[in-house]
Chain A
């Protein structure tokens, strides 16, 4: 069974850092791109960034560029999202998703909640 599971969310003060994890099982993650997408409290979906399975392509939304970093763990089925210099507007439910790229996200995790507040 294909599964993606995010973890690492929590309450953090503005300016702080947090690292999210996405563990993929049931498929070979190197055969797919993986993306981070966040959902704001108002329910808007926003693409955060993505990486090809072979790491040949990596990109970020302008809103997080220079603050967020996507990386892959030594166990290639784990993806990380390092979030630095967090802002109140980064408060969201963060999902990871699988993508054949080009194509779209055919599998999503349940999400992990990040709340940035003083």
Chain B
């Protein structure tokens, strides 16, 4: 089964500054159709997870363009170009290509 490891687990950031979260997989996440179904989710306090990114780098509808995803194979990154107060929460990566679905441990983003 796939294991996803995120780092860091805690990320204090200054408003307006960039932030970056890493997600590493125990095996390649490439799927048989040539795609890689690596997702990123944001969970604000008191809310359900909300998907931000799918297929490594595609943004879901309504997601601000300050969020971007990149990577391939086993190494993936979520970047926030300029952190805003509403970005506080926990961020998770998830492999959406292989059952059982795997989630990373989560990275808590907070404002310094």
> B-contacting residues of A (Cβ < 8 Å)?
35, 37, 43-47, 50, 57, 59, 61-62, 95, 99, 101-106, 108-111
Taken together as a complex, chains A and B put the C-alpha atoms of A99 and B54 apart, in Å, by 11
User: A43-B90, A109-B48 given as contacts; is B54 within 8 A of A103 (CB)?
Assistant: yes
Q: Judge whether A47 and B48 touch: CB under 8 Å.
A: no
Which B residues are CB-close (under 8 A) to A43? 90, 106
Range class of the B interface residue count: 20 to 34
Q: Which residue in B49, B60, B105 is a CB contact (below 8 Å) of A44?
A: B105
Q: Judge whether A105 and B103 touch: CB under 8 Å.
A: no
> A-contacting residues of B (Cβ < 8 Å)?
31, 33, 35, 37, 39, 48-51, 54-55, 60, 90, 92, 94, 96-103, 105-106
Q: Judge whether B48 and A35 touch: CB under 8 Å.
A: no
Taken together as a complex, chains A and B put the C-alpha atoms of A101 and B39 apart, in Å, by 12
Write the nearest CB–CB distance from B14 to chain A, whole angstroms: 24
